[in-house]
Structure 1
Amino acid sequence: MGLLWKERPANLPPRIAALASDRQAWDAALLRLAETSAVRLVFGEDGAERAEVHRLYHSLLREGLGEDERDLFSQVACDTLAAADPGDPLDNRTWSRYAELIPHLEISGALDSRREAVSQLTLNCVNYLRGRGEARTGLWLCELTIARWHSRMAPDSSEMLILTHQHANMLRRMGRYREAEAVGRAVVDRLSVRWPDDDPALLRAKNGLGGTLVALGVYREAYELFRDVYRSSSPDDDVPSSQARSNLANAAALLGGTRSPSTSTPRSPCGAAIRSACITTERSTPRCAAAGHSVCSAAMTRHSTDRSSTSGTTTRSWADTALIQ
């Protein structure tokens, strides 16, 4: 209720718009509602902040409405939520607002809305949960939204691809690596056949699959995916060239720190990693030099880790945090 009064979307029904523009009338209407129904008001510094009602009572109220009325009030709720979207889910100053919005997504009908702003709100809420580290709730919201969007949205639409990417991300963060691999590989295989190599959605999908493969210890394939992304990325892509270079460097370091098949002595992680990174470009170029610096630092850090006790944990931690997710 507080959001409805504060945001006041432009297309509110006349009766609600009239109340929302007069704070005294608004509060009086809410008090009458609380006195005559099972609604409980929660008050804050600015008066009534929200109205709480049991789900069973809410369902009875919805059933008493005609289809047109239900659609109208759902649209009002969705537009109000979209108007309250801060638009920057990775800025922790906006997190309290996203925490306030998420409980309303399903019951308002936002997951079924065809409005672009409402779909973007849902994606922003998922991204907020990722940034906050709420993988369990993020996975729940991803799977709930995918079930709704599949019936009305093409699998290769931009919104669905982002949501599927986040789904694999949440699976990986929950330690469900094989499921994350299956989701990510399906997208990469499908887009690789139909889309150009430098398409941003394909690069994002390859980058995400590479992170999952690192967590699974499949370093060679992960390196090859990161190399593809590095070759095709630019600073304006979803996976910018600087991040692609960093991912490639880390994957090369993991390969460079392994033992040679012909000897028990570890290969030089710095030298091997630099040679691997410079496969993608001429050795004499500044790009190769910059990649080499990143690779050497990553390789030496990786080489100094006690691989017998912490390698798996360190690798999976990097896969979850160092990549563009």
Structure 2
Amino acid sequence: MEEGFFEVKRDGKHGHIDICGNEVIPCIYEDGAFFSEGIAPEKLNNKWGCIDSKNNIIIPFEYEDLSVCSNNRICAKKNGLWGWINKNNDVIVDFKYQDLVSYASRYCNAFPAKINNKWGLIDKTGSVVENFVYDEFEYCSETGRYYAFKKKKHFALYDPVKLKFLTDFIYNEIGDFSYNHFRIKKNRKYGYIDIFGEIIVEPIYQDAEEYFSEGIAIVKLKNKYGAINTSGNVVIPFEYKSLFTSHDGMLLARKNLKEGFIDRKNNIIIPFGKFSCFPKSFSSGFVNVWTMKDGDFYINRKGEKLEIKL
């Protein structure tokens, strides 16, 4: 909600209102996006441009697509190809790319671009940082801080701030950033690497959560589930048919056709019984369970049945 405005639609048209509900940008546009860097993309007569908070036209409506980046850069599409312009509508990078990534951390010094069906990297001026030889590109963090590139069926992790690859092209998958870790897959097994590309948890697991939750991740070994911490140490033994994390210090576990809740030290908090649970975690200290005898009801963190019926 930059500029203190909210996107709205009225009668199928896009505009913006302020925190008091006043329509500050009239609902006259076919489509649009939120304000960023003081401007907002809008679509009019099937073309994209940008306006400021006073609805003045900053970028004329002449583009097929458009996205506002950081550092006075706007990613725009014209005649089927992508390039960069600035807020004065000056061309910074020529319109020659099949794809040009607009979203990246403001600290990044290289940006993925695609030409002739291959991915590479360019800097803020359009100079080539990495040649266009890669088959796929993926983000490895929500902030756009890390990238993964694929070459000949394998991925490598890239740091666009330091402008270097952190791993070789040896992984089948590289997951998103979590607790300074990335989940990796190699030879059908899962493990984790750190932000330097070093292996923290060897890829030995049949399955593994992509994200650590409260410092642990559920993993699968020899067809049983357990959990490890961020150092790779086993904190919950591999003895469960299924295991689900939650954000309240407890995990829903299934063992011998029964379900129960354990803590992160494998202590039983709610004894195992023949019930099912959905969702698989507590909310505000309660969880909904179902049994053949009693149907749906709630229990608290002590396993005590509550009188609230669904």
Where on the TM-score scale, by shorter chain, does this alignment land: which range?
under 0.3
* TM-score, scaled to structure 1: 0.25
Higher-strand-fraction structure: 2
* TM-score, scaled to structure 2: 0.26
